[in-house]
């Protein structure tokens, strides 16, 4: 590796995924120049084919009305089934273990209805250090809903010392000490703030050994890491599709429910007609009979326009392949890290683990003397990144549409900004 633009350009030329950038609309700044988009961890860019996929459904609606449920080019009635296979591929699950429905926080609640079953002696939820606020609110409200006190029943993982990273040793210690009282472990696959990736397999094994249910919020992991949910064995997971999965603002969430739970009729769940046995759904009977796959957790017939956007995106992922994406991602992020650490080290600190196996593409850069003018400087120079109060800039070069040149240009702008504002 070296710091020349030539080197960055060479890396782009030998990148087998380079052409995928052309499949996306890259936003432009006011001078018509493509922005440096490093914000795919917040909202992924729009694939060019998405318009076509959505227009198809609008056309079919226009021309067919209700008949589109059966006679659309992609009939709406089973439309969600088209997503299960490719979405399962993204997270390493069986198609029967995956369903696309609702939005993420809604699904966390529905999954906790089934998988957080507190008792007097086992009522705690062990959750991520500094989780995304929605997860904290959801967990806290579930605890209260069951009549427990969040102060006693919520235990937050803690980082090791002066850094922001939670070691597996820390997770293990908490599970060993309190496992008998933990009903549920619910952790982010990748922490949204630090970018730390947790070891799903290891945490699942530790939790299961103590009789805990284990679930993951994969909002920052799906489409970012190469996952193996079925083999790693967590009980459930949920993620959104609008971050790394490029399916548009507020688009639907993916859910994973391990097949070991599919036939368990003891599991409580909130039910709706779309989770009912397909053969008898339209008999409109009184008795709920759940589908014996993850689909059995569905409530409503899902929005086809949102699913069309997800389909477009999943087609691109299928073509690129998660293994190839992860391979490029590791190179791209390591290169960005290298460039960032060339200068200004007294002013910044990357809180994301430097070990590539403990992160995805995101790097979280902490300012020693936080000055928000730096972030404005980045924005004025065409960088779309994300500032988290009080002092962290998150950048996420995504392997589908970011280039080595992007990371090179970003590091130049970052260092020029740091020279000016620190």
Ligand X SMILES: *Cc1c(COP(=O)(O)O)cnc(C)c1O
Judged by the rule CB under 6 A, the positions of this chain that interact with ligand X are: 103-105, 132, 134-135, 188, 192, 217, 219-220, 240
| Closest to 268 measured CA to CA, from 304, 297, 232, 302 | 297
Considering just the CA atoms, what is the radius of gyration of the chain in Å?
Answer: 22
Helix H or strand E encompassing 89: helix 81-91
| Closest to 270 measured CA to CA, from 108, 112, 98, 113 | 113
Is residue 377 within 8 A of residue 410, CB to CB? The reply is no
89 by Cβ neighbours in 10 Å (0-12 / 13-18 / 19+) ranks as middle
Rank residues 64 and 113 by Cβ distance to ligand X and give the closer one: 113
Rank residues 112 and 291 by Cβ distance to ligand X and give the closer one: 112
Shortest CB 133 distance to ligand X, Å: 8
Task: State how far the Cα of 90 lies from the Cα of 189, in Å rounded to an integer.
Answer: 14
Task: State how far the Cα of 183 lies from the Cα of 186, in Å rounded to an integer.
Answer: 10
Q: Quick one: how many helices (H) and strands (E) in the chain?
A: 14, 13
| 3-class secondary structure, 49 | helix
Rank residues 191 and 293 by Cβ distance to ligand X and give the closer one: 191
Shortest CB 102 distance to ligand X, Å: 9
Shortest CB 134 distance to ligand X, Å: 4
Shortest CB 42 distance to ligand X, Å: 8
| Closest to 104 measured CA to CA, from 223, 235, 241 | 241
Shortest CB 105 distance to ligand X, Å: 3
Shortest CB 396 distance to ligand X, Å: 12
Shortest CB 242 distance to ligand X, Å: 7
| Closest to 171 measured CA to CA, from 212, 133, 219 | 212
Rank residues 181 and 313 by Cβ distance to ligand X and give the closer one: 313
Task: State how far the Cα of 409 lies from the Cα of 383, in Å rounded to an integer.
Answer: 9
Rank residues 56 and 134 by Cβ distance to ligand X and give the closer one: 134
Rank residues 184 and 348 by Cβ distance to ligand X and give the closer one: 184
Rank residues 190 and 325 by Cβ distance to ligand X and give the closer one: 190
Task: State how far the Cα of 199 lies from the Cα of 216, in Å rounded to an integer.
Answer: 11
């Amino acid at each position: 590796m070296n710091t020349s633009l030539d080197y960055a350009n060479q890396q782009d030329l030998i990148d087998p995924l380079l052409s995928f950038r052309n499949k996306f609309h890259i936003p432009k700044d006011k001078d018509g120049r493509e922005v440096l988009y490093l914000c795919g961890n917040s909202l992924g860019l729009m694939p060019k084919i998405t318009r076509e996929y959505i227009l198809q459904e609008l056309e079919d609606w226009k021309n067919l009305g209700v008949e589109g449920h059966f006679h659309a080019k992609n009939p709406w009635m089973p439309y969600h089934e088209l997503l299960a296979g490719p979405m399962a591929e993204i997270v390493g699950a069986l198609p029967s273990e995956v369903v696309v429905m609702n939005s993420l926080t809604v699904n966390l609640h529905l999954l906790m209805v089934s998988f957080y079953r507190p008792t007097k002696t086992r009522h705690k939820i062990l959750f991520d250090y500094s989780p995304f606020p929605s997860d904290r609110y959801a967990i806290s409200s579930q605890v209260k809903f069951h009549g427990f006190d969040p102060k006693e029943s919520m235990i937050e993982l803690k980082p090791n010392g002066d850094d922001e990273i939670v070691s597996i040793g820390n997770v293990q210690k908490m599970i060993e000490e309190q496992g008998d009282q933990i009903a549920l472990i619910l952790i982010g696959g990748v922490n949204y703030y630090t970018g730390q990736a947790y070891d799903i397999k290891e945490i699942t094994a530790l939790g299961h050994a103590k009789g805990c249910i284990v679930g993951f919020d994969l909002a920052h992991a799906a489409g970012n890491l190469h996952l193996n949910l079925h083999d790693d064995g967590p009980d459930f997971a949920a993620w959104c599709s609008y971050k790394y999965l490029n399916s548009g603002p507020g688009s639907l969430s993916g859910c994973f429910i391990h097949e070991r739970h599919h036939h368990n009729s003891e599991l409580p769940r909130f039910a709706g007609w779309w989770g009912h046995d397909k053969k008898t759904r339209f008999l409109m009977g009184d008795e709920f009979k759940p589908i014996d796959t993850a689909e059995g957790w569905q409530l409503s017939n899902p929005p086809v326009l949102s699913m069309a956007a997800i389909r477009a995106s999943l087609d691109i992922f299928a073509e690129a392949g998660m293994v190839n994406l992860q391979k490029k991602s590791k190179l791209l992020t390591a290169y960005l890290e290298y460039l960032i650490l060339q200068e200004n080290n007294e002013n910044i600190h990357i809180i994301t683990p430097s070990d590539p196996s403990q992160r995805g593409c995101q790097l979280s850069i902490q300012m020693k003397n936080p000055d928000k003018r730096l972030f404005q400087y980045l924005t004025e120079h065409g960088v779309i990144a994300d500032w988290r109060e009080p002092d962290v800039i998150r950048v996420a070069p995504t392997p589908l549409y970011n280039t080595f040149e992007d990371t090179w240009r970003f590091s130049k702008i970052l260092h020029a900004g740091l020279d000016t504002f620190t």
